[in-house]
C-alpha cells in the first residue's frame, strides 16, 4: 500500500529521521537506536521491509549499491512527508496539554 500522506508508522518516521544523512542498512539500525535514545531497536526484517516500501513510494532513493550493501538517502518528497508528520506529532502533543491543565486543578 502506497504512502498516502497519512500518519506514519513509528518505523517509517525513524527511518526517515535516520536518513537525513545517507546511510546503509547496518548503520541505519544503529542510527535509529541512537536517534530514538535506545527506545527503538529495529531488526533487519522490519528495516528492509520499510526501506523497500518507502523506496517504492518515492520517499527514499538508492544512492549506491556495491553488491554487498546499499546506501539510501531521503528524497525531497520524503523530507516533506517527514516534516508534515513532525508537525502533526507536535500538534498532538500540544493538544494533549489539556491533561496537564487538568492536573493543575486537582
- Model pLDDT, residue 102: 64
* Per-residue pLDDT reduced to its tens digit, 32-54: 999 999 999 999 999 999 999 99
Q: Which long-range contacts (CB under 8 A, 24 or more apart) does 17-24 make?
A: 17/82, 19/60, 19/72, 19/73, 19/74, 19/78, 20/74, 20/79, 22/63, 22/71, 22/72, 22/73, 23/71, 23/72, 23/73, 24/69, 24/70, 24/71, 24/72
Give the rounded percent of residues in the chain with a pLDDT score beyond 90.
83
Look up the pTM and report it.
0.86
Give me the DSSP letters along the chain: ----SSPPPHHHHHHHHHTTS-EEHHHHHHHHHHHTTTS----HHHHHHHHHHHHHTTSEEEEEE-SS-EEEEE-HHHHHHHHHHHHHHHHHHHHTHHHHHHHHT-
Q: Mean pLDDT over all residues of the chain?
A: 92
Amino acid at each position: 500500500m502506497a504512502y498516502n500522506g497519512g500518519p506514519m508508522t513509528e518505523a517509517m518516521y525513524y527511518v526517515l529521521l535516520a536518513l537525513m544523512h545517507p546511510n546503509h542498512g547496518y548503520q541505519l539500525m544503529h542510527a535509529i537506536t541512537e536517534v530514538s535514545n535506545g527506545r527503538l531497536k529495529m531488526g533487519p526484517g522490519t528495516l528492509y521491509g520499510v526501506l523497500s516500501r518507502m523506496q517504492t513510494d518515492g520517499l527514499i532513493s538508492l544512492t549506491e549499491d556495491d553488491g554487498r550493501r546499499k546506501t539510501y538517502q531521503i528524497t525531497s518528497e520524503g523530507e516533506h512527508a517527514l516534516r508534515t508528520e513532525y508537525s502533526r506529532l507536535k500538534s498532538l502533543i500540544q493538544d494533549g496539554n489539556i491533561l496537564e491543565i487538568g492536573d493543575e486543578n486537582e
